[in-house]
Homo-oligomer: A and B are copies of this chain.
Amino acid sequence: MVRIGMLTSGGDCQSLNATMRGVAKALYRLYDDIQIIGFEDGYKGLMYSDYRIMEPRDFSGILTEGGTILGTSRQPFKLMTEPDENGLDKVELMKQTYKKLKLECLVVLGGNGSQKTANLLSEEGLNVIGLPKTIDNDLWGTDMTFGFQSAMNIATNAIDCIHTTAASHGRVFIIEVMGHKVGWLTLQAGIAGGADVILIPEIPYDIKKVAEAVKRRNKVGKRFTIIAVAEGAISKEDAALSKKELKKKQEKKTYPSVSYEIAAKLEELTGIETRVTIPGHMQRGGGPCAYDRVLSSRLGTRAAQMVYNGEYGNLVVIRNNEITKIPLKETAGKLKTVNPKDSMVEEAKLLGITFGD
């Protein structure tokens, strides 16, 4: 009997279950005698031998379910090298569980940090295969991550809803979209939702230019302005600060998020009422969209095949519409950010969207 471990790690997102279903269905088909071990709450389950023996029926009916049937937890990579609360070496604990259970391979569904840990385990000699999960689409080496399109649908729907109400009154509306470091979600939801202004971490903004865009619209009779703001949007002023100075400055802030601060400044500069909407964790929730279910099914079945072929130490990715692989050591820890000169930014500007740069 071959035994495969599986875990979901980091922030949850929409297509985790669909991906695991893909892996499992293909494994049961490829192997005559296979057992899948599901670790609870991410790497924690692997550390402390907290697991379930999965049955085929566990993967039935979960294609459309949000969240993860295994649970997840955030385990930042940098904490992996620190001892746990009992002074034990975390990586050693995970290796012990792996060996004790005589796993053939560990399948890790996770984002950037989680794949870094996956790579570490791979370098320590474990057989590991990674699957690219994140609503941020910021994993280097894959064209798309599962979760992204589902999150984009929700963020776009938020902008759509705001559009009709904004058009009825004469106001500025800010929709805060998830993304602390990377702006793909805000950029694409902003384009899809017909936002007038898009502010993302990679393109620091000048609040005066944003205010001018609002005023310019009002001058030509457009009564409202829709602004899509990434959680990590940053002003040119702040972007110029050192990390230390920035941290100091942020500690003094009284606003619970960047949107409230931008709203206050815009009201001051334009005199126009500005409202804030924060869909927040909604963007990670609900079931996966059709696109994600196809992507997850494809990535999942190919992951199973890579297990079968012994192609370990890889992240399963989609590149130019084909499912392929990339060594974990090449991708782990590399962030795929928006290049301000990216063609999609250029296209957005052709639509008349302001980035405040």
A344 within 8 A of B: yes
Contacting A290 at CB < 8 Å: which of B64, B149, B351? Answer: B149
Contacting A165 at CB < 8 Å: which of B67, B161, B191, B320? Answer: B67
Contact residues, A43-89 vs B (CB, 8 A): 61, 63-68, 71-73
| Stretch of A115-123, A206-214, A243-251, A274-282 at the chain-chain interface | A274-282
A265 within 8 A of B: no
Main SS class of interface, A: helix
Q: How many residues does chain A have at the interface if contact means C-beta atoms less than 8 Å apart? A: 84
Chain B's closest residue to A263 (CB) is: B256
Contacting A279 at CB < 8 Å: which of B254, B282, B301, B351? Answer: B282
A289 within 8 A of B: yes
A242 within 8 A of B: no
Contact status A167-B277, CB under 8 Å: no
Question: Given contacts A149-B291, A191-B294, A280-B277, are A161 and B168 in contact (CB under 8 A)?
Answer: no
Alpha-carbon separation in the docked complex, A157 to B194 (Å): 22
Number of chain copies forming the complex = 4
Contact status B290-A280, CB under 8 Å: no
A202 within 8 A of B: no
Contact status B188-A290, CB under 8 Å: yes
Complex interface bits, A279-298 against B, C-beta within 8 A gives 1, otherwise 0: 11111111101110110011
Contact status A160-B285, CB under 8 Å: yes
A143 within 8 A of B: yes
Question: Given contacts A12-B165, A285-B160, are A352 and B256 in contact (CB under 8 A)?
Answer: no
Contact status A277-B275, CB under 8 Å: no
A158 within 8 A of B: yes
Contact status B164-A286, CB under 8 Å: yes
What are 18 of the A-B contact pairs (CB < 8 Å)?
A: A30-B350, A68-B168, A72-B168, A143-B321, A153-B289, A160-B285, A161-B281, A162-B281, A164-B286, A164-B287, A165-B281, A191-B294, A275-B280, A277-B278, A277-B279, A297-B347, A304-B350, A320-B320
Given contacts A149-B290, A162-B281, A165-B281, 19 further A-B contacts (CB under 8 A): A11-B169, A22-B350, A72-B168, A73-B169, A153-B289, A161-B283, A164-B287, A173-B281, A188-B294, A189-B290, A191-B294, A192-B290, A192-B291, A254-B254, A255-B256, A256-B260, A275-B280, A298-B344, A320-B321
